[in-house]
């Protein structure tokens, strides 16, 4: 069986020694797309659009710092202990989505304090943009031939020639398109229903859906943390469980508030 062979150079273009990577371009597109989603939200709900520039700065710093530190601590601590200078080399890859999530939550907390915006209101709406953000980032992983899947003989398996000649699940694409579908669902619910009125409900569904996808796909991912290879659940799955539990709690609370509101109106 012939399989699709992927061998794209992660460097999109090099100009006078300056290398522009596909991952960097897609990361920039992720930020731009997320910004446009939040701009539409702010305009729809009469929030100060001019404060979005600051939100962007807070969120990007929170995502990068949190994602990098989680990768360093949970996925490859031995390497970074031996090579501390590489900790800041984010351009070489190595960002953990769980850490990015915690980093942006902390950054948003400080932003909401400064601009007097309700913390949970903003997290609910950022969840929509974050799902779209994840789609672009996982596409960037595809261009980098990283976050590989386990070997597979399925017709759509991909040979990542820069790594080896083994057909594998394109698991980063599975994940990316799952995130895109979650974005479409959350954005539709926000625009077409009253779900946005109940604090924590959008965020809860985001956490449940995204982290469940992440948990399930870890079964067909090559393990990224060496010390997790002999464990029943790997590092990514263990880190996903608290987020799933938090999401379930938020959904239950939000749905209860939604039901009570409807009963009082009836």
Annotated binding site: 138
Q: In what order do the strands lie in the sheet with 167-168?
A: 4-6, 158-160, 167-168
What residue has token string 């970074």? 80
Contact yes or no for 38/126 (Cβ under 8 A): yes
* Cβ neighbours of residue 266 closer than 8 Å, sequence gap 6 or more: none
Q: Measured in Å, how far apart are the chain's first and last C-alpha atoms? A: 61
Cα 222 to the chain's mean position, in Å? 18
Its sign, for the CA torsion 86, 91, 97, 100, is positive
Provide the b/e sequence for 91-129 (b: ≥16 CB within 10 Å).
eeebbbbbbbbbbbbebbeebbeeeebeebbbbbbbbbb
Q: Which H helix or E strand runs over 11? A: strand 11-15
């Amino acid at each position: 069986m012939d399989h699709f062979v992927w061998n794209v150079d992660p460097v999109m273009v090099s100009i006078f020694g300056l290398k522009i990577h596909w991952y960097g371009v897609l990361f920039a597109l992720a930020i731009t797309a997320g910004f446009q989603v939040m701009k539409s939200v702010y305009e729809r709900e009469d929030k100060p659009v001019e404060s979005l520039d600051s939100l962007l700065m807070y969120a990007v710093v929170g995502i990068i710092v949190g994602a990098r530190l989680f990768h360093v601590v949970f996925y490859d601590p031995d390497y970074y202990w031996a090579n501390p200078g590489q900790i800041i080399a984010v351009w070489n890859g190595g960002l953990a989505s769980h850490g990015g999530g915690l980093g942006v939550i902390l950054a948003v907390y400080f932003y909401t304090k400064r601009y007097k915006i309700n913390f949970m209101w903003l997290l609910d709406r950022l969840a929509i943009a974050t799902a779209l953000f994840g789609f672009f980032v996982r596409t960037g992983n595809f261009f980098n031939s990283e976050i590989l899947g386990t070997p597979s003989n399925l017709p759509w398996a991909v040979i990542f020639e820069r790594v080896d000649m083994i057909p594998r699940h394109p698991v980063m694409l599975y994940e990316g398109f799952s995130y895109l579908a979650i974005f479409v669902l959350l954005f539709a619910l926000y625009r077409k229903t009253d779900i946005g009125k109940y604090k924590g409900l959008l965020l809860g569904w985001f956490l449940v859906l995204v982290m469940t996808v992440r948990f399930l796909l870890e079964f067909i991912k090559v393990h990224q943390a060496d010390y997790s290879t002999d464990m029943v659940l790997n590092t990514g799955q263990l880190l996903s469980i608290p987020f799933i539990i938090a999401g379930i709690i938020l959904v239950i609370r939000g749905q209860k508030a939604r039901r009570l509101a409807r009963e009082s109106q009836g």
